[in-house]
Amino acid sequence: MSVKQLINEYNEPEFAEELFHVRNWMKPCLQCILASNTVREAGEILKKLNVNELPVIDESERFIGMVTTRKILADFLQGGNGDAYVGSALIDDVAAVKPTDSVFSAAAYPYDLLPVVNEHGKVVGILTARDAMDALFQMIHKLQKKQNSAEVLRIILESAYEGIAVVDENGILLEFNEAYSRFTGIPRKDAIGRHVTEVIDNTNLHVTVKTAIPERGVIQNIQGQDMVVHRIPIWNNGKVAGAIGMLIFEGVTEVYKLYETLQKNHIEDPSYNQSSFKAEAECEVTLDQILGVSDGIAEVKRLARRAARTSATVLITGESGTGKEMFAKSIHHLSPYSSGPFISINCGAIPEPLFESELFGYEEGAFTGAKRGGKQGKFELAKNGTIFLDEIGEMPLSMQTKLLRVLQEKEAERVGSVEKYQIHARIIAATNRNLLDLVRKGQFREDLYYRLNIIHLHIPPLRERKQDIPILLGYYLSSVSVKYGIPKKTLTSEAVSFLMQYKWRGNIREMVNMIERLVTLIDGGFINQSHLQEVMTEQKEDNDPNFVVREKCSVLLEAKNLGEQREIELITKILKEAGGNKSKAAQLLGIHRTTLYQKLKKYRIQ
């Protein structure tokens, strides 16, 4: 099979990979021949380098042709003495390739050696037939691996107990496994190629492609039965290329019954208090409630679970708005101290004169204005529970000394008292500052730092958790809509893609603020990029490039429009080549016939 036949055999995107660009396979051009060289000098250079041909350049170093040993020999046989300029032996109709060209398209030229020239026409390398052959072997190896992976994926899909459906960017089913087929009663061969709404009852998988918002554990009525489903978008190069739907074969009837029983018991119990139950629930934050599937957040969750099993002091660091208190509450919930209270102290909000009395309490008459009977401190209130020292980096140096003693001796005393009481509480501290830098500057005690930093959890900022952004957007869009009693709004996939590139300097706190603005200010059910532009430009700050989005939005829209125009041109060209045969055109384009029909309708191509 020739290179050309092989290229036609497989989809063109395989050959558009950067790996197969000429620049990755060419050799550096060690020497070129000047047009001012004589034929004899050219022959000597070829002999010295032991090659049969070399590029010829002019005085500006621009490529003008090739010279070969055969051409030089012919010049001598025709009576030449070798003193003529090399132009008399020049082959000037030779093609040249660019570094970004496909190595396979270059291999289609009938030459053993091709010069590689940059945008200025200067020679930057040479590509030989052997180089093209090496690239071809690499491509065959990749295709074999891909075919093997595809076979493994097919076996996994068919072996899965859960129903699995995969759609493309237009909602057309690309995969429909046997389990889903058995449940719906629709054969796989009849499902693939059809729009997902024609096959699966009440599905929103085609909406997931448009919104790019994953949905996990949602209820969907299929064949008259409430089922639990997951819907997950598939991203490729910053764009949603499709979505996966998973049908969990667990009806939710039993869940409903359990909920109804619990609700009934609460109503019948006269001691049940709605407000106290709500306050208790707000404190019981579990790690499962911390959304995210990225490697960074998964690692923090793993460490948090291990830390919770011990009574060791935990230091949580991370930028403002990353959710440090949620992790602290999660550790408390999983720890042996979960039956006790969770007491939170903002070390940066308490005035220094009141710090000691707030932490350790005071006795009656300890100072002017002291309450009769005295007051318990936070450490006393946290007995058999957890005390959370938020913004520990803001704690005054004088109080750092007293806190260190408490941590070491596990005992404290109230202001105005001479008796000590034992500390029976888990200590968790948090800060958005670099404590080691503060230690070096003399603003934080080094011994206290090492006493706190027994187990260290660092929460990554949102910009380093791009995989989690669509999940968080979906959750907060829903919760904010419920909070304000507004119908749920949905982000378009382009808007989600843009927000995944956003810097999020305020992290999740900034995201919640932005979602609240969008939900309350934007009319209609969908939020697109232009809406983001309106809302985000209002909060633009002169010195913060994070808020300069108008230009970026317009550039992204321009790029999208340009891409659609090229797609229209390509489809029109292929249709002409196929003589108007849509099935053949779809095959040449490497897409399903139904997808082609949708694109023809979308772009109004006749």
Give me the residue label for tokens 């679970």: 305
Paired residues of 250 in beta bridges? none
Beta bridge partners of 421: 412
- The three-point CA angle 269-274-276 to 5° equals 105
Q: What integer is the mean pLDDT of 503-511?
A: 88
The alpha carbon of 88 is separated from its chain's Cα centroid by a whole number of angstroms, namely 59
The enclosing H or E element of 45 equals helix 39-49
**Greater confidence, 301 or 278?**
301
Contact between 386 and 425 (Cβ < 8 Å): yes
Helix (H, G, I), strand (E, B) or coil at 327: helix
Helix, strand, or coil (residue 290): coil
Q: Mean pLDDT across the chain, nearest whole number? A: 78
> pLDDT tens across 550-605, in order?
444 444 444 555 567 777 888 888 888 888 888 888 877 777 777 787 788 777 78
Whether pLDDT at 177 is above 60: yes
- The better pLDDT of the pair 105, 464 is held by 464
How confident is the model at residue 431, as a pLDDT? 93
With 0-12 CB in 10 A as exposed, 13-18 as middle and 19+ as buried, what is 24? middle
Locate the DSSP E strands across 377-521. Answer: 385-390, 411-413, 420-422, 425-431, 455-458, 490-491
Say whether 243 sits in a helix, a strand or coil.
strand
Q: What is the pLDDT of residue 314?
A: 93
pLDDT computed for residue 13 by the predictor:
46
Instruction: Sort 142 into a burial class: Cβ within 10 Å, 0-12 / 13-18 / 19+.
Output: middle
Secondary structure tally for the chain: helices H, strands E: 24, 21
Q: Give dist(CA 403, CA 394) in Å, integer.
A: 13
pLDDT digits over 21-47, tens only? 888 878 777 688 888 888 888 888 888
- The number of beta carbons lying within 10 Å of the beta carbon of residue 335 is 20
Parallel, antiparallel or unpaired: strands 361-362 and 173-176: unpaired
Confidence bin at 276 (pLDDT 50/70/90) = very low
Distance of CA 288 to the CA centre of its chain: 20
Orientation of helix 529-538 relative to helix 550-577, angle to 10°? 170
* % of the chain exceeding 70 in pLDDT: 79
∠ CA 387-391-395, rounded to 5°: 90
Q: Which domains does the chain have, with CATH numbers?
A: 3-137 (3.10.580.10), 162-254 (3.30.450.20), 287-460 (3.40.50.300), 463-548 (1.10.8.60), 556-603 (1.10.10)
When pLDDT is averaged across residues 166-177 and rounded to a whole number, the result is 89
Split at pLDDT 50, 70, 90, the class of 158 is: low
What CA dihedral angle connects 566, 572, 573 and 575, to 10 degrees? Answer: 140
The confidence band for 280, taking pLDDT boundaries of 50, 70 and 90, is very low
**Which pLDDT does position 318 carry in this prediction?**
92
Q: In this model, does residue 357 exceed pLDDT 80? A: yes
The DSSP-derived string for 456-468 is: EEEPPPGGG-GGG
- Output the pLDDT for position 546: 45
Nearest-CA neighbor of 72 among 41, 43, 51?
43
Query: Which amino acid makes up residue 395?
Result: M
Q: What is the pLDDT of residue 143?
A: 60
**Pair of tokens at residue 417:** 């008292």
Going by C-beta distance under 8 Å and a sequence separation of 6 or more, which residues neighbour residue 331?
A: 304, 307, 308, 314, 386, 426, 428
Residue with the larger pLDDT of the pair 452 and 82: 452
End-to-end CA distance of the chain: 36
Residue 90, C-beta contacts closer than 8 angstroms, at least 6 positions apart: 35, 56, 64, 65, 66, 67, 71
Range with the lowest mean pLDDT among 141-145, 181-185, 188-192, 349-353?
141-145
Share of the chain above pLDDT 90, in %: 9
Nearest Cα to 292, choosing from 513, 546, 508? Answer: 508
3-state secondary structure of 239: strand
User: How far is it, in rounded angstroms, from Cα 545 to Cα 566?
Assistant: 32
- Reported as a single tens digit per residue, the pLDDT across 408-450 is 888 888 888 878 888 888 899 999 999 999 999 999 999 999 9
Instruction: Look at 132-141, 238-247, 285-294 and tell me which has the smallest mean pLDDT.
Output: 132-141
The count of other CB atoms within 10 Å of the CB of residue 381 is 15
pLDDT in tens, 364-400: 777 776 777 788 888 888 888 899 999 999 888 888 8
Residue 328's pLDDT band, with cuts at 50, 70 and 90, is very high
The reported pLDDT for the residue numbered 251 is: 46
Q: Which residue has the tokens 């806190």?
A: 403
pLDDT at 3 over 60: no
Cα distance between residue 454 and residue 255, in whole Å:
41
Answer whether 315's CB lies under 8 Å from 393's CB.
no
